[in-house]
Amino acid sequence: MSGSGSVLRALELKNPKLVLLESCSSLSHLKIIHGHMIRTHSIFDVFSVSRLIACCVDSLLGTNALDYAFRVFSQIQNPNLFIYNAIIRGFSVSENPDKAFCFYRQSQHHGLVPDNLTFPFLVKACTNWGSMCISSQTHCQIIKYGFEHDIYVQNALVHMYSTLEDMKAAQDVFQTITCLDVVSWTSMIAGFNKSGDVETARKLFDRMPDKNLVTWSVMISGYARNNCFGKAIELFQVLQSEGIQANETVMVSVVSSCAHLGALDLGEKAHDYVVKNNMTVNLILGTALVDMYGRCGSIEKAIQVFEDLPERDSLSWTALIAGLAMHGYAEKAVEYFSQMVKTGLLPRDITFTAVLSACSHGGLVERGLEIFEIMKRDYGIEPSQEHYGCVVDLLGRAGKLAEAEKFILEMPTKPNAPVWGALLGACRIHRNLEIAERAGNMLIQLKPEHSGYYVLLSNVYARTNKWENVEIMRQTMKEKGVKKPPGYSLIEIDEKIHKFTIGDKTHPEIESIERMWEEILRKIRLAGYTGNTADALFDIDEEEKEDALYRHSEKLAIAYGIMKVKRPITIRIVKNLRVCEDCHTATKLISKVFERELIVRDRNRFHHFKGGACSCMDYW
């Protein structure tokens, strides 16, 4: 029997209107019921009409249902509070939450007194609208009508103020709640996490008498969003120890944290947890897994997970293309881009950023320029500064520095610092002082507080033996109070993340690590290694420069890896800065002398070291 036929037959039952309204699953069915109500004059039954509007605003019936609810509402001569509450609720979660207040004012005009359901809906409208002014006015209305101590209203207010990041107001309401529940606590924790105060959020989390899975998820995701990736993973481990089963939302945060840390072992363990607990690998979790394997240096596993995804969207394709780009597999990235286009999916702006980056790292100049053109011509995507930066990087890395500079000067929009930075980075690679000075001076004007641009320009001066200019750069940084952020390297050993900084003395095994590095240094010197101090910024003699180079965080991490990671397991390291030329040279020799495979992820890409060579072919 057709859907319409089953609906009409059901109308013959006792009280069919209410039965069908409760079970209504589509707008077309609801319209049939409405038509029958008009024919039987049930449209004058206020309660039935109330239920009809309530069903209309149910999100399961689609966005058009709210417009239909408004049309039904406009035909009612004397709507009661229940009807007003229903229509306010509908618009509170719509694209136009401000309309909820129009209906509220209209209800007051008709002499209706709001109840404890009216205000939670209005507060939700404030939350979605994002207007602090209207939020304050709504709070005043709550006090005026005496609902400031109603638990549902209080929880709604805490959630509203937390979402709007007014944590003082949220705390003021929170402290007035006499019977705090999970909703109250979780809203506060979410608010502190959103405002970046994860320490206060964690204190509240630890004080909570009872937690549900939503609370755990909010705290773990809060850590992940505030770059506290290690803490996110640690809290997930606590959740496991307490016998609580995580859900897909929690695992997205955990997997993403592993990706940022480059912690492959922990990432694989998280993936195993997903499989063992029969979780649904939806688009969000699936994309997070692809991204994690790509960023943890296992691009083969990223491809495997991608191929096994039951469905794919533009973001999952982009995650794989970006992963291939980071590993330098330019041809493969372009191939997947072409496959994506053939499936009929429209590439997004970030998809083009990923594939242009792949072309840049792989030296595919002509292909990259072609893709840049089709982005505008075939997909109508206006290039962003990031896209322009990719093209400058593409041309610059290939040595086409004059062409890259010309491209910048002819941009339709004013180039930002990263665009000029791409040109300066290319000048560093190709030792072009003339263009470097123009780009560097422009960058220092745009971002006088950014240390990286001073360092890049200084390195160009050093490589071209302009030592007086190096000293000028150093003095300029000192005068302006610009400091270079410390580099650090991460290595995962036995599911624990170890962090090293230059000259680090805090690690409990630092003495053994330094002895190991001395042994490594002795052996690679026999293979031809000499410290490259050209990039050193310090105003110190050559011996001290070499000593500083030998204690770069990456070298300490490598030494620890050789101590702890047995053959044939790959040593994996993550850096927060671009790998320096000396460390790159040293690591190539280490891979040959010690017959070890090393994978280093720096700020820009992956370097796979094996047999004395790097996958980047010294083109980074």
Q: Which helix (H) or strand (E) holds 601?
A: strand 598-601
91 touches 121 (CB < 8 A): no
Q: What is the mean predicted confidence (pLDDT) over 76-91?
A: 87
Q: What is the mean predicted confidence (pLDDT) over 424-441?
A: 93
Residues 6+ apart with CB under 8 A from 210: 182
> What tens digit of pLDDT does each residue of 516-542 get?
999 999 999 999 998 765 555 444 333
The span from the CA of 499 to the CA of 482, in Å, is: 24
The dihedral built from the CA positions of residue 122, 127, 130 and 131, taken in this order, carries a sign that is: positive
Binned at pLDDT 50, 70 and 90, residue 30 comes out as low
Residues 6+ apart with CB under 8 A from 529: 521, 585, 586, 589
The span from the CA of 509 to the CA of 46, in Å, is: 77
Q: Is 382 exposed, middle or buried (0-12, 13-18, 19+ CB in 10 A)?
A: exposed
- Residue 493 has, within 13 A of its CA and on its CB side, a CA count of 14
Q: How far is CA 408 from CA 392, 428, 503, 571, in A?
A: 7, 17, 39, 40
The span from the CA of 430 to the CA of 403, in Å, is: 14
Q: What is the mean predicted confidence (pLDDT) over 29-42?
A: 62
> What tens digit of pLDDT does each residue of 537-593 get?
444 333 334 445 557 899 999 999 999 999 999 999 999 988 888 899 999 999 999
> What tens digit of pLDDT does each residue of 450-482 get?
988 998 899 899 888 898 999 999 899 999 999
Binned at pLDDT 50, 70 and 90, residue 93 comes out as confident
Q: Please name which of 340, 376, 372, 333 lies closest in space to residue 355, comparing C-alpha atoms.
A: 333
The span from the CA of 31 to the CA of 36, in Å, is: 9
3 state SS for 382-420: CCCHHHHHHHHHHHHHCCCHHHHHHHHHCCCCCCCHHHH
The span from the CA of 602 to the CA of 573, in Å, is: 9
Binned at pLDDT 50, 70 and 90, residue 165 comes out as very high
